[in-house]
Homo-oligomer: A and B are copies of this chain.
Amino acid sequence: MSNIAKKVSWSSRGDDRGERTPLLNGAEDVKYTRKDIVRSRPNEIPHNEKLLSLKYESLDYDNSENQLFLEEERRMSQMSFSCLEITRWVICGLIGFLTGLIACFIDIAVEYLAGVKYFVVKQNIEKFTELGGLSISLILWAVLNSAFVMVGGIIVAFFEPIAAGSGIPQIKCYLNGVKIPRVVRLKTLVIKVCGVICSVAGGLAVGKEGPMIHSGAVVAAGVSQGRSTSLKKDFRMFEYFRRDTEKRDFVSAGAAAGVSAAFGAPVGGVLFSLEEGASFWNQMLTWRIFFASMISTFTLNFFLSIYHGKPGDLSSPGLINFGRFDSDTMEYNLYEIPLFIIMGALGGLLGALFNLLNYWLTIFRIRYIHRPCLQVMEAMLVAAVTATVSFAMIYFSNDCQPLGEDHTEEYPLQFFCADGEYNTMATAFFNTPERSVRSLFHNPPGSYNPQTLGLFTLVYFFLAVWTYGLTVSAGVFIPSLLIGAAWGRLFGILLSSITTSQSIWADPGKYALIGAAAQLGGIVRMTLSLTVIMVEATGNVTYGFPIMLVLITAKIVGDYFVEGLYDIHIKLQSVPFLHWEAPATSHWLTAREVMSSPVTCFNRVEKVGTIVDVLSNTSTNHNGFPVVVHTIEEDEPGKICGLILRSQIIVLLKHKVFVERASSRLSQRKLALKDFRDAYPRFPPIQSIHVSQDERECMMDLTEFMNPTPYTVPQETSLPRVFKLFRALGLRHLVVVDNENMVVGLVTRKDLARYHLGKHGLEELQLAQT
């Protein structure tokens, strides 16, 4: 991504704030409209997390309460509102149901494919262990892995690159109000689901949980609109919900349903949605989200119970299965708490290291691996290396354990062990990652020896770092848990070896759980929702307090070094993401300094030609236009009387709602909200709309369609105050007016997102066109 932003002199924190006009030097590469001006530190900063991309548009989470909308709302009876509310519940139920079904499909497909793969490889290994020539087994394993990953990589890289990764950063951005193109399309869902099946079956160090969240969100965005634009099928249902505000609410529910299905954690799902996405907390909305989550877990459990031949047994957990932690064995004592905190700190450190390595790797990828075929090849390489390393680890390991009667291993590999014994390194490597986690949590003390665990942690850590960010659909939850569980168990074993009384530290599984939480917390840095997810997934609340302690510690330690993994990836995409609050030290900035100015405004009744010209201007590409009334003269800024969006004008132009036309052809029907809803969300570009020379001379009356009461702030408003208003109400445009109500500026998401707290105090990001 090239940095084509223009540089101007860094306007330092001056004391002449009130009167200061932007200081522009006369360099030729500087345009004199404020919109294009970028203030940056003089020295060029190479990484693009110091940029803010202009390519991302915002979503309209503030209803445009124009006349059409108000008329519709006023026509509706109380009964209609109740029906709408019931419809919302039904849709949430549907979202939960479909998300649960998808989770079920992924689970069964992965289990089946991985089962076949491990069976074939196991047979082969057993054959060649006796005969010699295990390299053939290795090649078989590597080829099988690469084949799966190739399929997964190709569909993602060539058909829908947005389906890569876990999708959690994308959904975070969507809920934050950033429009990520194609993120909630049906095609994305299909590629995502197939992709994740391939990557997990391909033996990569990934999990199938993260993508469920994205899948749930897509399901929600689709179901709630009552149509599929991709399939060109409109069911003529749920038309009321065809706007960003309503869609966002359903997408929150979908994301929650996804978490719920992935971890069997309905409450965790609700909290995830809130922690990562929401801003304004609404009770009814939260209950609907909770309902969708519950239905999702229920559906998944119901169908899985049928698949597993125990129909009706709903007590099983979600996609991930940590196994049952029994209350009796799972107790902890006061003196263990310092140990937990140490583990949390360790998790924070290792998490920060993970994120830092992955950050460097991602920058490398952005620079050098951006062609799809290269991306697929890298993914295949990782798959082959994963198989090779795993094989080598198993091959050189001489850690054999007797095969117990109630062993939990699905594919115990005997390898060079004596009869009746199995290779413990294989339980960690020759298995889907979830099963490995479960073994680490529940296998009885003594199942693993410390070297095995240490080596495994080390190798798996680097494999996971390398894997995250590949062009395949995959989540980072499970590998994180696995790394953590491994060193956690190691920690537990070491503890019991250095203390005399074995009984207290008897259960290394407990430390595996704490380690897993610490590592995951250190990487993704969620606390509240993660605590609940862990508690719900383990089915035991006893460990709530230690897990919470560990997660908080991991977050504090990790945040000291580097941000969370998702935030890093959001920043690397230069997304204008709005955090919870304005930077603490930004009180000296006011709306006057952050706003874009001058603002392109329209008159209440505007010439079509002017409108088309403004909309066609690719250098500005504004999306919202204050509508003004001029009192004195045309050159002066006008008094604000409304706000109209590009999308609304596009619909008006498409339907040719011109004043002269209306008077000449009286038969022309009045434009209704339905026309706007039909065009939502893929409004055509201005270039596709043909406006004849005659029509250019017509006038357009925007009165009926503009939002007559946009939120405004005076110029003196401090940045935190502007930020709070913007964030709490989910605004896209905030008009800045002077004390005569004249439009003097416009604050958009990018104007707020570009301020952030850096090492040297408040910093400003550059704006870039990419």
Contacts and interface: CB of A to CB of B under 8 A. Distances in A.
Nearest to A76: B585
Contact of A587 (B73, B548, B714): B73
A338 to B, nearest CB: 13
A312 B333 contact: yes
Contacts of A54: none
Nearest to A317: B541
A235 B449 CA distance: 56
A535 B532 CA distance: 12
A270 interface: yes
Interface stretch (A110-118, A426-434, A675-683, A718-726): A718-726
A770 interface: no
Given A333-B312, A639-B739, A584 B549 contact: no
Interface in A526-542: 527-528, 531-532, 535-536, 539-542
A542 B541 contact: no
Contacts of A708: 714, 716
A634 interface: no
A291 B555 CA distance: 13
Contact of A287 (B298, B527, B714): B527
A32 interface: no
Nearest to A85: B584
Given A528-B270, A541-B541, A74 B333 contact: no
A284 interface: yes
A278 interface: yes
A585 B267 CA distance: 32
Contacts of A712: 712
Interface in A558-608: 580-581, 584-585, 587-588
A713 interface: yes
A740 interface: yes
Contacts of A729: 724-725, 728
Contact of A314 (B281, B333, B737): B333
Nearest to A275: B283
A315 B284 CA distance: 34
Interface string A323-334: 010110011111
A717 interface: yes
B312 A334 contact: yes
A293 to B, nearest CB: 9
Given A542-B315, A585-B77, A334 B548 contact: no
Interface residues of A, number: 89
A290 interface: yes
Contacts of A711: 713, 725
A531 B581 CA distance: 30
A280 B580 CA distance: 10
A757 interface: yes
A542 B539 contact: yes
A324 B314 CA distance: 20
A63 to B, nearest CB: 8
B528 A286 contact: yes
Contacts of A616: none
A527 B287 CA distance: 7
A291 B544 CA distance: 12
A327 B585 CA distance: 51
A532 B536 CA distance: 11
A515 to B, nearest CB: 20
Contact of A580 (B266, B283, B314, B588): B283
Nearest to A737: B741
A21 interface: no
A290 B711 CA distance: 34
B290 A313 contact: no
A290 B527 contact: yes
Contacts of A740: 740-741
A379 B293 CA distance: 44
Contact of A280 (B73, B281, B548): B281
A59 interface: no
Contacts of A2: none
A533 to B, nearest CB: 11
A297 interface: yes
B552 A291 contact: yes
Interface in A698-717: 708-709, 711-714, 716-717
Nearest to A707: B721
A766 to B, nearest CB: 22
Contact of A739 (B274, B284, B641): B641
A761 interface: yes
Given A281-B280, A535-B541, A739-B741, A528 B287 contact: yes
A421 interface: no
Contacts of A282: 580-581
Interface string A256-288: 000000000011001100110011111110110
A335 interface: yes
Contacts of A528: 267, 270, 286-287, 290
Given A312-B333, A539-B542, A718 B713 contact: no
Nearest to A552: B291
A493 interface: no
A136 to B, nearest CB: 46
A5 to B, nearest CB: 26
Interface in A499-531: 527-528, 531
A294 interface: yes
16 contacts: A73-B587, A76-B584, A78-B584, A78-B757, A81-B585, A281-B281, A284-B580, A312-B334, A312-B335, A324-B327, A535-B541, A641-B739, A709-B717, A709-B718, A725-B729, A728-B728
Given A78-B584, A267-B535, A740-B741, 8 more contacts: A73-B587, A267-B528, A267-B531, A287-B527, A290-B548, A326-B327, A709-B713, A724-B729
The 3 tightest CB contacts between A and B, nearest first, are A81-B584, A73-B587, A312-B334
